[in-house]
Structure 1
């Protein structure tokens, strides 16, 4: 009986809990509420790709029109892709990038509480005024034995990023960020916005705008920061559908003409 309980307890410990990809999922957007996106169809399998540099590969995916809708990150025993696939199916992600890196070995001691019951058998003869009588019986003492279970567990830092695919052709096709303090110092300026991502086959891509370019003017208007850059880009509606960016690339200012996609 004790062996059966020990085996059952070990099975529970080794089976673990829910997948870390599901337990530690953080949502950034509900795919069902996003306009003009391709989501996963029922019973469809998402595309899964391993990455040795998630930051780099997420930027590449975004340049190809993929939109991040959530991510999972956790430290634990190395998990199979099943939990990640199930999470992607649950949130409608058509693609997931994942990374798994060895983080070390941890010694884990778990107490196992096993029953330790003792049964005593007794018999004898009782003498009394009416004569003598034989008797027999059992008595049980209930107790518990604690058995330490020590295991060596290999731990991994694991992460996954989930995407849907945009079906809308971008009007310009850039993602801009504010200038960092270091970049402001190097450029000797406070205003501007740096291009982080250029969407492939977009007007900006065709005009040879590159990640790392610093936008300082849009159609002659000074760009203050990334928020202002987006406002100016949304507002431009020039004749013939063409407008001009003034950028700094490798320390040199230059003008780039971009043909807008009609809205």
Structure 2
């Protein structure tokens, strides 16, 4: 009986998909992207542990990695092999993984085991023509419920999946809208904050820094992050120069970028 229970518990614990697969949310289908390196046949993804995902996602982006999706869930600690399996499924070459203990929980799982009862009978019968022996059996079919109780250590677990860009960025800036605290600090609604500067890009070489507030692009006032992105995308593809005006440590600064033709 003990061997049966052990085997069934193994099935219960391993038969389900991992949390990394169940709770995966794609940002984009990586296989529709161009100019990126996806995980190839026979390759293994790089798995990196993170204690600060917000910081480390920016660092990965600055090195040319592009996030394509994430998994986030609470449950028993998943294995690294489960992360690798999901990364392989989506083509990710890099995964940042974070985990934090939350609680111990008592888990009771009902197991239904067959409990069949068979009754055997035998004897002799007598009649006008003599006696005869007989034997037979009858089976009553039933089920026994066996509760399996265990202590489960639970963790908040998150994984962010990346592919690697193979094309040099024309600008090398990733921006977002100004948060409320910076609007209040600088007494302005317009502009966009520079979150990431990609290494070896025109912005990197011109010494644009993460945290700079972009306020003008070629003398055009920046309204928000979308406006800044639209202006950069509309720049002539032949390359040339452009001038960014940023606020750094409360001081406005003009920075000239030499663009890569694209």
SS in 1 for 2:72: strand
| Residue of structure 1 equivalent to 2:198 | 199
- Decide whether the 8 Å contact of 2:238 with 2:261 is kept in 1: no
Name the CA shift for 1:3/1:140 in 2 (closer, same or farther; >3 Å): farther
1:46-65 map, 5 Å:
46-65=45-64
Post-superposition offset of 1:3: 4.9
Q: How many residue pairs align between the two structures?
A: 262
1:39 partnered with 2:54: no
Name the CA shift for 1:71/1:130 in 2 (closer, same or farther; >3 Å): same
Deviations 1:168-212 (A, max 9, x none): 111111111111222212111111111111111111111111111
Post-superposition offset of 1:131: 6.4
TM-score by length of 1: 0.89
| Residue of structure 2 equivalent to 1:140 | 139
| Residue of structure 2 equivalent to 1:15 | 14
| Residue of structure 1 equivalent to 2:117 | 118
Deviations 1:44-96 (A, max 9, x none): 11111111111111110001111111122222221211122122222222111
1:168-247 map, 5 Å:
168-237=167-236, 241-247=240-246
- Decide whether the 8 Å contact of 1:104 with 1:155 is kept in 2: yes
- Decide whether the 8 Å contact of 1:173 with 1:205 is kept in 2: yes
- Decide whether the 8 Å contact of 2:175 with 2:195 is kept in 1: yes
Post-superposition offset of 1:114: 2.1
TM-score by length of 2: 0.89
Name the CA shift for 1:142/1:17 in 2 (closer, same or farther; >3 Å): same
Post-superposition offset of 1:234: 2.9
- Decide whether the 8 Å contact of 2:239 with 2:260 is kept in 1: no
Q: Cα RMSD (Å) of the superposition?
A: 2.4
Name the CA shift for 1:120/1:37 in 2 (closer, same or farther; >3 Å): closer
SS in 2 for 1:224: coil
Post-superposition offset of 1:151: 0.9
SS in 2 for 1:29: coil
Structure 2: how far apart are the matches of 1:197 and 1:161?
Answer: 17
SS in 2 for 1:57: helix
| Residue of structure 2 equivalent to 1:77 | 76
Structure 1: how far apart are the matches of 2:6 and 2:250?
Answer: 68
Structure 2: how far apart are the matches of 1:40 and 1:80?
Answer: 20
Post-superposition offset of 1:127: 5.8
| Residue of structure 2 equivalent to 1:90 | 89
User: Where do 5+ consecutive residues of structure 1 fail to align?
Assistant: none
Structure 2: how far apart are the matches of 1:105 and 1:240?
Answer: 58
SS in 2 for 1:44: coil
SS in 1 for 2:260: coil
Name the CA shift for 1:26/1:207 in 2 (closer, same or farther; >3 Å): same
